[in-house]
Structure 1
Amino acid sequence: MTTHNIGIIMNGVTGRMGTNQHLIRSILAIRNQGGVALPNGDVIMPDPILVGRQAHKLEALARKHGISRWSTDLDACLADPNDTVYFDAQTTLHRADSIKKAIAAGKHIYCEKPTADSLEQSLAIARLAKEAGVKHGVVQDKLFLPGLLKLKRLLDAGFFGKVLSVRMEFGYWVFEGDWQTAQRPSWNYRKEEGGGIIVDMFAHWRYVLDNLFGEVKAVSCLGTTHIPQRIDEQGERYACTADDAAYATFLLEGGIVVQANSSWAVRVNRDDLLTIQVDGTEGSAVAGLRECKAQHRVNTPKPVWNPDIPNPFAFAEQWQEVPDNGQFDNGFKVQWEHFLKHLVTGSPFPWDLLEGAKGTQMAELGLQSWAERRWVDVPPLQV
């Protein structure tokens, strides 16, 4: 048995997502389970070094989780040949430049999305990675959620017949920060700092729609800033310059129509923070983050509109849960394991920097549609 030690430069993991999903629930969880096992008996063992700008945060995080290596010197880390992978979970405005430096240093790339703050930059780093011959990937975590995996199972089985439409509802109320502390950082609501729900979420919707239902061909989007002022981490009031809600329609190949509402100013009255309803000629399903329920046409009720009597149907009870039929691991961790296997064995990893650029493109086209108040076609991308 051979142990393949993979040194990983983890930049920006002192933030909430980087700490919880990528460091604790992915890399450290993989180490605690004894690494990633390969069919031939070999094991892949990730060896992280934490990198960032604030030494006290890095030191505290490393000490808390028993990590021996941390640094505020990214250039020195990139110069170490023992660390072959660069991972980036910084804010979007800092990501592209750091990835370019890592590619120039010959590092394989794995990063959060959006991969850059513009399509031009996203395509540039995808092109650089291809020319350098390094392996590269982008986090597309929603594909590995249990609810969406169950939805994919129904799609693969032909349960829906011809898929007609998809309705997506995402969001929750984010407190303004005055009488209750906000759940999201203040930069999310500043356009000049890379904030905005369109930039944040349309990258997700792009890969979810492309991978489950078909390529996105056109988009119509209306964005808005429902909450004009919020309170930042220092208790200071600031003007919100970025959108906090977006109401979009996507047209997919094959004529599938998708309606997607995304909002940080909505109160949840549905099964989950994200729900995706798929309606087809043979059946329908509603997926959340972990659960999925379905209704075949033979079990579909036949309601009649009559506002003069109490509703006789318990609609929510007429759906059947799609069973787990297995155990689901953390979605971020699952994709990390795929990427580590890709590095060592060359196994397929389709979620590359070009796929990341498609997400940036989707955000730009959504913003363009909003600004111009019209449908915008989605042109194909290549590097």
Structure 2
Amino acid sequence: MTRKTVRIAMNGVTGRMGYRQHLVRSLLALREQGGLDLGDGTVLWPEPVLVGRREHALLALAEQHGLDPANVSTDLDAVLADDTVDIYFDAQVTSAREEALKKAIAAGKHLYTEKPSATSLDGALELARLAKAKGIKHGVVQDKLFLPGLLKLKRLIDGGFFGRILSVRGEFGYWVFEGDWQEAQRPSWNYRSEDGGGIVVDMFPHWEYVLHELFGRVTSVQALASTHIPQRWDEGGKPYDATADDSAYGIFELDGGAVAQINSSWSVRVNRDELVEFQVDGTEGSAVAGLRNCRVQHRASTPKPVWNPDLPATYSFRDQWQEVPDNQEFDNGFKAQWELFLKHVYADAPYRWDLFAGARGVQLAELGLKSSAEGRRLDVPEISL
């Protein structure tokens, strides 16, 4: 085996997602398993180069995980000018991402980024076009596709379980504390639109690729975005006005005729089995998929409920569903997509979750906010480079 060291600039690793999912559970996890085997006698060894504004925090992370302190920098331009750095990864706040990605493209780095890739469709398409013109390889995080629950759902779709799919209903969210009497579990910028915050900007890109990949392209959107909690408290305990939406209620028409309805909220208390669940109903069967689990009810075993509010139910509707078995080992979804992207860069393996796919998510978020502001349903046109 030949070990090839791959230096990856990681910008934004002091944040929750950048640190936990991308550094620790993806690249460091790859190192713990001995690297990524390309299948041709080559093993990729990821070498993170930690980039950010707070040097002391970056050095603390490097020391904590046994990384070389020389691979820490607060100078993004210098890191991008380093010919030994092959890939740039971005997990910064949304408002800072577009400029950094443009710099990485200009420097000729392959790039992988959290979503949304930009704050507008025009910006997202410009990034995709610049990357295409530069001839670099690029990817956007679309982690929900690699969740065990959705992989089981995809297995059902591929096996023809549903027949003709009629509808998709999604529920996502949880209560994010305001920050006054209990510390908020999300950063305060998420609730300031001027900093790129808002649940539509955050979650509609997820719903776009989930719907597109599993059920069909989104052809129209009708959304209502709301700021249910108008005041929150920041990391320093100071109150601030929440200028971004914390809840969104969307209806999406899909190519092929199915309809999806998805509620997204950071101001809802959870009364479901998982933090996100999708119910898919088809002519031949239905399924409910979450982060890890998936339950089904086939046409042949569907009970015949009768509406009678005068009598209490003597049975559990949930007990009438069957659990879908794992039938395989499921890895961390972020790590799984990192592996595919690295194989794309170094072994030319196929890869479709690129900046153009990311632009579709930005488009849906943009149209969702416009739909809410104008109070009407909007068509979602196909976009192209």
TM-score by length of 1: 0.99
Q: For 2:72 and 2:165, locate their aligned partners in 1 and report how far apart those are by CA, in whole Å.
A: 49
Residue 51, structure 1, aligned to residue 51, structure 2? yes
Which residue matches 1:136? 138
Which residue matches 2:330? 328
Deviations 1:267-299 (A, max 9, x none): 111111000000000000000000001010111
Deviations 1:189-237 (A, max 9, x none): 1111111000000000000000000000000000111011111111111
Q: Following TM superposition, by how much is the alpha carbon of 1:130 offset from its aligned partner in structure 2, in angstroms?
A: 0.1
Question: 1:121-132, aligned counterparts within 5 Å?
Answer: 121-132=123-134
Q: Following TM superposition, by how much is the alpha carbon of 1:67 offset from its aligned partner in structure 2, in angstroms?
A: 1.1
Instruction: Tell me which amino acid in the other structure corresponds to 1:47.
Output: E
Instruction: Tell me which amino acid in the other structure corresponds to 1:238.
Output: Y
Q: Per the alignment, in what secondary structure is the counterpart of residue 382 of structure 1? A: coil
Which residue matches 1:24? 24
Q: For 2:40 and 2:130, locate their aligned partners in 1 and report how far apart those are by CA, in whole Å.
A: 33
Instruction: Tell me which amino acid in the other structure corresponds to 2:207.
Output: W
Q: For 2:253 and 2:363, locate their aligned partners in 1 and report how far apart those are by CA, in whole Å.
A: 15
Instruction: Tell me which amino acid in the other structure corresponds to 2:281.
Output: D
Q: Following TM superposition, by how much is the alpha carbon of 1:3 offset from its aligned partner in structure 2, in angstroms?
A: 2.0
Q: Per the alignment, in what secondary structure is the counterpart of residue 254 of structure 1? A: coil
Instruction: Tell me which amino acid in the other structure corresponds to 2:324.
Output: V
Q: For 1:5 and 1:212, locate their aligned partners in 2 and report how far apart those are by CA, in whole Å.
A: 35
Question: 1:16-95, aligned counterparts within 5 Å?
Answer: 16-68=16-68, 69-95=71-97
Q: For 2:240 and 2:53, locate their aligned partners in 1 and report how far apart those are by CA, in whole Å.
A: 25
Q: Following TM superposition, by how much is the alpha carbon of 1:382 offset from its aligned partner in structure 2, in angstroms?
A: 1.2
TM-score by length of 2: 0.99
Q: Following TM superposition, by how much is the alpha carbon of 1:41 offset from its aligned partner in structure 2, in angstroms?
A: 2.8
Q: Following TM superposition, by how much is the alpha carbon of 1:178 offset from its aligned partner in structure 2, in angstroms?
A: 1.3
Q: For 2:79 and 2:368, locate their aligned partners in 1 and report how far apart those are by CA, in whole Å.
A: 37
Which residue matches 1:371? 373
Q: For 1:109 and 1:223, locate their aligned partners in 2 and report how far apart those are by CA, in whole Å.
A: 32
Question: 1:101-250, aligned counterparts within 5 Å?
Answer: 101-250=103-252
Structure 1: which 5+ runs fail to align? Answer: none
Q: For 1:198 and 1:256, locate their aligned partners in 2 and report how far apart those are by CA, in whole Å.
A: 22
Instruction: Tell me which amino acid in the other structure corresponds to 2:361.
Output: G
Kindly report structure 1 stretches of 4+ aligned residues shifted beyond 3 Å: none
Q: Following TM superposition, by how much is the alpha carbon of 1:42 offset from its aligned partner in structure 2, in angstroms?
A: 1.8
Deviations 1:147-182 (A, max 9, x none): 000000000000000000000000001111111111
Q: Following TM superposition, by how much is the alpha carbon of 1:44 offset from its aligned partner in structure 2, in angstroms?
A: 1.3
Residue 269, structure 1, aligned to residue 271, structure 2? yes
Which residue matches 1:317? 319
Question: 1:251-270, aligned counterparts within 5 Å?
Answer: 251-270=253-272
Q: For 1:74 and 1:322, locate their aligned partners in 2 and report how far apart those are by CA, in whole Å.
A: 46
Instruction: Tell me which amino acid in the other structure corresponds to 2:15.
Output: G
Q: Per the alignment, in what secondary structure is the counterpart of residue 131 of structure 1? A: helix
Q: For 2:174 and 2:274, locate their aligned partners in 1 and report how far apart those are by CA, in whole Å.
A: 10
Q: For 1:95 and 1:129, locate their aligned partners in 2 and report how far apart those are by CA, in whole Å.
A: 15
Q: For 2:157 and 2:41, locate their aligned partners in 1 and report how far apart those are by CA, in whole Å.
A: 34
Percent identical pairs in the alignment equals: 66
Q: Following TM superposition, by how much is the alpha carbon of 1:40 offset from its aligned partner in structure 2, in angstroms?
A: 2.3
Which residue matches 1:4? 4
Q: For 1:14 and 1:8, locate their aligned partners in 2 and report how far apart those are by CA, in whole Å.
A: 16
Q: Following TM superposition, by how much is the alpha carbon of 1:38 offset from its aligned partner in structure 2, in angstroms?
A: 2.0
Which residue matches 1:301? 303
